[in-house]
Chains A and B, each alone.
Chain A
């Protein structure tokens, strides 16, 4: 890749890339800036930046008026719980599809993906009724199950494409070495596929954290995660930009920071077999 690039071209490319990246990022940045302004400053016209009144008041007020730690904890439990449960079911399934493929494997995968195409709104009422009936409504377990099932096809697909890169000979070697199926998966496949599993895990935590339909409709207070927290904030508060921004920032910052720190791992496996 050591190609001679004229410094001029390189400078233009760098400037253009940064311009585009900052534009894409700007809404998030603007929201965070707004969250530190006073309400008056937040809606001032023309928009204030250097002259703005900076304050931490919004965060203090949001923190005081709502039970942020509970919402936060629910989000953590639900996203991590659904991810771990999903992996436990998906790893064996992906093993089967990647290493013992049959004529129907591709169809099976496509069918799994198609279950995700059913619009959530379409099945809202039945699921609401079922969840009420079997006592899963407004429970963390209920949301863990729902989000796990919602994302299972994506998890299986990601793991499947990742497992396919692993040479089957290595698993055969393990079999020759006397490994049972369980040992083969635990001692050989899983450690070898760790980067892919990590990436799948991250993506799934992000998807589960940001899910805002089932988490809002299948909870009231007890199990409500941050998506419900933000929904409750935008509704009755009216247009208090600064406080809304502060609440928004509190809802997304944990996952944003996790994402930033782990983006290398995330991106590595985020190919769905698109890269050969």
Chain B
């Protein structure tokens, strides 16, 4: 519903964004693709020659690789499940006519403002540390041995930390969505004899579909690349128990100084991201229409 000249103007105005994003995507991608077929190790003087698909094969044959894929997906999935479920529950709770809603919102949103390395170090040192952490003080208070979070449950610990960082985001979006639900709808359902659970199931939850979609989409985008929290806390260990694909690539690039191999891992990560994106769009993209 517009004229040709406005459509032309529209193209011109969207062009800079498309152009810079395209460059931002294609240059590193092309270089990564190139490196992934090259012999390029910083620790050896000779850094040239083609190696074909060897780097890719190394990844596919590495026992750690499939574990890393699993860990990546488990991290994304775990955080999504926790933040969406807890987020909805907390939003429902705060949406009640409770005293001091403004202050409650400030408290709940706070973790969102904490930068990941700080968040990770708070949890690692002040809470999960087996000697000095608050959790160990609690378990000792009950006369039990402290739980070795980062040694015995490394992936769960990381999922917990990341969930804490993202819970505010999910909660706030759900809260805003809840507040836009007309109370008349709920009252009508109540008149129709719907129990509180049924009101949640048939009125509130469908109303939240869009918000849940948005939360899943945005969080997935950020979570696929999670790196800092693992680097600060478990360093991917013990062994490879909490090594995700990004962390595995990091180990190849920075620890082993094998740029070629890391590049192959990067390409695999990009492919994985695209597969996830594809299923994401197919699964929930339709909720975003209009």
Contact = CB atoms under 8 A, between A and B. Distances in A.
Contact of B18 (A95, A106, A108, A231): A108
Contact of B121 (A47, A127, A244): A244
Interface in A113-154: 113-127, 129-130, 149, 152-154
B137 A47 contact: yes
Contacts of B108: 20-21, 24-25
Contacts of B13: 92-93, 95-96, 181
Given A24-B164, A212-B228, A234-B232, A273 B214 contact: yes
A118 B123 contact: no
A43 B112 CA distance: 26
Contact of A96 (B14, B107, B126): B14
Contacts of A21: 94, 104, 107-108
B83 to A, nearest CB: 12
B117 A230 contact: yes
Interface stretch (A63-71, A190-198, A264-272): A264-272
B194 interface: no
A119 B117 contact: no
A226 B249 CA distance: 25
Contacts of B7: 100, 102
B80 interface: no
Interface string A222-243: 0000110011001000010100
B122 interface: yes
B121 A248 contact: yes
Contacts, number: 305
A168 B1 CA distance: 10
B210 A274 contact: yes
A93 B17 contact: yes
Given A27-B122, A230-B117, A270-B172, A117 B273 contact: yes
Interface stretch (B44-52, B53-61, B175-183): B175-183
Contacts of B10: 95-96, 99-100
A272 B21 contact: no
A275 B140 contact: no
Contacts of B107: 21-22, 24-25
Question: At the interface, is chain A mostly helix, strand, loop or mixed?
Answer: helix
**Residue of B96, B265, B289 ringed by the most chain A CB atoms within 10 A:** B96
A126 B25 CA distance: 11
Contacts of A89: 16-17, 20
B266 A210 contact: no
Contacts of A60: none
Contacts of B232: 234
Interface residue range, chain A: 35 or more
A271 B176 contact: yes
Contacts of B111: 24-25, 27-28
A31 B126 contact: yes
B177 A274 contact: yes
Contact of B180 (A117, A239, A275): A275
Contacts of B90: 20, 24
A115 B21 contact: yes
Nearest to B186: A3
B24 A274 contact: no
Given A271-B176, A273-B210, A119 B114 contact: no
Nearest to B141: A46
Given A47-B134, A267-B172, A119 B115 contact: no
B77 to A, nearest CB: 15
A275 B176 contact: yes
B221 interface: yes
B270 to A, nearest CB: 6
Contacts of A108: 14, 18
Given A119-B269, A129-B31, A212-B116, A267 B176 contact: yes
A153 B21 contact: yes
Contact of A252 (B113, B211, B227, B276): B113
Interface in B160-205: 164, 167-169, 172-173, 175-177, 180, 183
Contacts of B250: 121, 124
A119 B99 contact: no
A121 B266 contact: yes
11 contacts: A14-B96, A24-B90, A27-B123, A93-B17, A100-B7, A112-B17, A119-B245, A121-B246, A122-B32, A125-B263, A227-B117
Interface of A: 1, 3, 5, 10, 13-14, 16-18, 20-22, 24-25, 27-28, 30-31, 34, 42-43, 45-47, 89-90, 92-93, 95-97, 99-100, 102, 106, 108, 110, 112-127, 129-130, 149, 152-154, 156, 168, 181, 206, 209-213, 226-227, 230-231, 234, 239, 241, 244-245, 248, 251-252, 255-256, 258-260, 263, 266-268, 270-276
Given A126-B31, A149-B20, 12 more contacts: A24-B108, A43-B132, A92-B16, A93-B18, A112-B21, A121-B266, A125-B263, A212-B116, A212-B228, A234-B232, A270-B176, A274-B211
